[in-house]
């Protein structure tokens, strides 16, 4: 006997099974096997993609802002999905950073400026002012 159900997002299939020999029931969970991909750092070295790094950066940028944790999770999910949908097995941190900034700009301007200040490594007030001016013009 076999009963199957998909999870909410369709990423996991829960199957309720029954052993033909002993008639005991058990549950299995099946996931799509995702192909790993690498992130090319600014220095040229490569490391395995870590979703938590994006999540932590966005959480820091959105700290004390009216952005729910569910919304942040959805943003991280969409970034990860976009990255995995590309055929490349390697992606630059520059591409990831720009994707995060695009999502934050649409989500919360203050979070965008916070993230940009760390990501672009502002060294003086003029860099900061230029980013805010660009934001105003959009």
Could you state, in chain order, the average pLDDT of each consecutive group of 10 residues for the chain (138 residues)? 60 84 88 79 92 94 93 92 82 93 92 87 76 74
Q: What is the 3-state secondary structure (H, E, C) of the chain?
A: CEEEEECCCCCEEEEEEECCCCCCEEEEEEECCCCCCEEECCCCCEEECCHHHHHHHHHHHCCCCCCCHHHHHHHHHHHHHHHHHCCCCEEEHHHHHHHHHHHHHHHCHHHHHHHHHHHCCCCCHHHHHHHHHHHHHC
CB 68, CB 62: distance < 8 Å: no
Q: Domain residue spans in the chain?
A: 1-33, 35-137
The whole-number pLDDT of residue 131 equals: 76
The whole-number pLDDT of residue 107 equals: 93
> What's the rounded Cα separation, in Å, for the pair 105 and 112?
5
The whole-number pLDDT of residue 117 equals: 84
Predicted model pTM: 0.68
């Amino acid at each position: 006997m076999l009963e199957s159900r998909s999870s909410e997002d369709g990423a996991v299939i829960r199957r309720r099974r029954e052993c033909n020999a002993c008639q005991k029931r058990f549950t299995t969970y099946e996931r799509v096997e995702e192909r790993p991909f690498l992130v090319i750092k600014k220095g040229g070295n490569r490391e395995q993609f870590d979703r938590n790094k994006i999540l932590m950066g966005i959480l820091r940028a959105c700290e004390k802002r009216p952005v729910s944790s569910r919304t942040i999770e959805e943003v991280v999910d969409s970034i990860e999905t976009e990255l995995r949908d590309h055929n490349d097995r390697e992606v630059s941190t520059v591409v990831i950073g720009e994707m995060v900034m695009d999502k934050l700009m649409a989500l919360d301007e203050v979070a965008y400026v916070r993230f940009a200040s760390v990501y672009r490594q502002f060294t003086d007030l003029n860099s900061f002012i230029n980013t805010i001016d660009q934001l105003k013009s959009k």
